[in-house]
Amino acid sequence: MVPTGSLQLENGITWSADQRSNVVDGPGTEMRIGVAHCIEIFFGVPDYAYTIGGNAPAGFSDFVASARLQLPRYNGFDTAATAGLSFPTGGNQISSHGYDPYLQLPWTRAIDENWAVDGMLTITWFTSELQENPTFQPTLEIERDFGTWANVFAEYAADYPHHARPTHLLDGGGVWRVTPRQQLDLDAGFGLNRPSPDHFLGIGYSFRLDGLF
């Protein structure tokens, strides 16, 4: 969670190869604001998908507004609940063309002082593509901390549309905390079945401004 009165900006660029198309997507920016002890709001600023060869769609993504509530710890699990809504502001080939709500339930549990396992379930409703509802997106991740300055992780992620073949991804990467309020991220992965991207690589940078209010 972002501390109360703080603003955190998370930025990233992703390159992916998918069925003979290469797509550069960015700069993906998320603005997170801590508004109370256990509540934060955040906004997904539209980024641009640029196609290098192939027939993959190009254009700006939709704008997303969300809020997260940190829930009480239960039996060693740290949990939260996130609700959000995407707005059809993106390009014609990228936008979902609807106001799409979603719900996320992230959790984490420490194994010891260095290892932890994390997961999240996302449920999305597409108002303009009713045949896809509901779409489930589970993730499962294991991570290892190296003190307070770095960690590495491995993750499995899937996407289960209601009337389409699911996608399965395996990725991994690391985080380097340059300072207590700045960090660099690296993430790379590949798809495990035909509907999934062939492979992808992402790099990100985030920083936090404290004491704004």
Residue 131 pLDDT > 80: no
Q: pLDDT by residue (tens digit) across 8-62?
A: 999 999 999 987 789 999 888 999 999 998 999 999 999 999 988 778 888 999 9
CA distance 121 to 139: 7
Q: What's the pLDDT at 2?
A: 92
Highest mean pLDDT of the ranges 47-51, 129-133, 138-142, 162-166 = 138-142
Query: For 104-120, how does the pLDDT look when each residue is reduced to its tens digit (9 = 90+)?
Result: 999 999 999 999 999 99
Instruction: Tell me how far CA of residue 6 lies from CA of 31, 82, 176, in angstroms.
Output: 10, 19, 20
pLDDT, position 194? 87
Predicted confidence (pLDDT) at residue 161 exceeds the cutoff of 80: yes
Is residue 96 predicted with pLDDT exceeding 80? yes
**pTM for this structure?**
0.89
The residues spanned by each domain of the chain are 7-207
Buried b (16+ CB within 10 A) or exposed e, 50-64: ebeeeebebebbbbb
What residue has token string 């990467």?
173
Residue 153: its pLDDT value, please?
Answer: 98
* Mean pLDDT of the residues in the chain: 93
Q: How far apart are CA 190 and CA 170, in angstroms?
A: 6
Query: What pLDDT band is residue 65 in, cutting at 50, 70 and 90?
Result: very high
pLDDT of amino acid 133: 82
Q: Give me the CATH code for the 7-207 domain, please.
A: 2.40.160.40
Q: What's the confidence (pLDDT) of residue 198?
A: 92
- Residues of the chain with pLDDT > 70: what percent? 100
